[in-house]
A and B are shown apart, each in its own frame.
Chain A
């Protein structure tokens, strides 16, 4: 069974390992290894969609925009 991971990039917690961007890079590695898919909620004012696309492109992953509501986006990374 494929795991589905989820990260809200707007959810900032104290402490460095709690940084959602660090978690994003950790989770992306799992997607690259074929361990699951990753849903990411983001705000284009903080992280432009093009940046999320570049991450997928350079890591040979597929990116699907699931939702777009104003500046808020939800995307899905898969292998």
Chain B
């Protein structure tokens, strides 16, 4: 087995991995829900609060100015991480859900007219469905969905047919949080641009796990969360392509976002500040920038290759349980991230999750905020194992050996 990462060294940065759960070493396979945090990120936040803390932007004193520099340098770091044109395109939010809601209210509400179309897929996370449902009731625009193929890919032929001049927005996940499918967003971007629409990409699952170059992908908007990429909770990013910054109205108004206010009018600051009303999550931004630094040091190509290798091993191991375990999503790791949803035949997925927990293995169970996809697959839920930089081949083997015991116990 090729090793793209020095996992032993990486694991030392995650003290939680030394924990024993019921006397067994913790096997954390729930990073798609939220990743673990390395010491470096926790220390950066701790240090900021203990010796550097102040509010940003409005202060003339030393601490405020140095906190402002740290905050704005973090923005630049994140802009470079996704190859944005400039840091003005980076807006700090509370997470992917918040970013998508901001887009629905700030962009969707502004551009959508009755009869227009918003195109989604049936594999979207609820955070990329519900805001559009509400905006469609406010604007009269209609939502349409792209189906999936038997392999768990989106149906690109159907997409070609459904995109027309009425389609103003395609909002789509870059990596399914259930099937792991990686979507060819560049292909979709080209198609939607031909008819004058825009593409919004939900990068909650892709940005933490693969190199992202927003210019190369030719997309218009990108949303992602800090807590899924080694960063803290409560911080996320909305990237808006430079040319579209003025098409978006700030959905939240208040202090820190305006140049001047009179009794009956106001003028906005330039982007990105006009989109960040109120005191932001400053420590969260600093923690996220430290997480990005950590990932960059490893190299996002190496992250991706490590996960491809582990996913490929896991899929091969799970293949031994044909007839007993159903695995969902593409079989080729070239179009799949490190997310593996499955079901043990005849057993409630929550029970499987509870049993795996008894072995010290943390997985997620249920419908993973993707009810329409589970309806499409005609299943009531699934067990989801998801991997990240700190996971090892041995941990995957522990998962499959636990599943062996479980499947043996279900033989009636």
Complex-state Cα separation, A21 to B405, whole angstroms: 19
Q: How many interface contacts (CB-CB < 8 Å) are there between A and B? A: 50
Binding site for B on A (CB under 8 A): 16, 19, 21-22, 24-25, 28, 32, 44, 46-48, 50-51, 53-55, 58-60
Q: How many Å from the CB of A72 to the closest CB on chain B?
A: 15
Cβ contacts under 8 Å, A46 to chain B: 348
Cβ contacts under 8 Å, B69 to chain A: none
Cβ contacts under 8 Å, A28 to chain B: 354
Q: Assess whether B22 is interfacial by the CB under 8 Å rule.
A: yes
- A58:B347 contact, CB within 8 angstroms: no
- A51:B410 contact, CB within 8 angstroms: yes
Complex-state Cα separation, A28 to B22, whole angstroms: 13
Binding site for A on B (CB under 8 A): 22-23, 347-348, 350-351, 353-355, 357-359, 366-367, 405-406, 409-410, 412
- B22:A51 contact, CB within 8 angstroms: no
Cβ contacts under 8 Å, A19 to chain B: 348, 350
Q: How many Å from the CB of B144 to the closest CB on chain A?
A: 27
Q: How many Å from the CB of B96 to the closest CB on chain A?
A: 20
- B409:A48 contact, CB within 8 angstroms: yes
Complex-state Cα separation, A16 to B297, whole angstroms: 40
21 contacting pairs across A/B (C-beta < 8 A): A16-B367, A19-B348, A19-B350, A21-B354, A22-B350, A24-B351, A25-B353, A25-B357, A28-B354, A32-B22, A44-B412, A46-B348, A47-B351, A50-B409, A51-B347, A51-B406, A54-B409, A58-B358, A58-B359, A59-B358, A60-B22
- B410:A48 contact, CB within 8 angstroms: yes
- B354:A25 contact, CB within 8 angstroms: yes
- B358:A47 contact, CB within 8 angstroms: no
Contact A25/B347 with A51-B409, A54-B405 known, Cβ cut-off 8 Å:
no
- B350:A25 contact, CB within 8 angstroms: yes
- B355:A48 contact, CB within 8 angstroms: no
Cβ contacts under 8 Å, A60 to chain B: 22-23
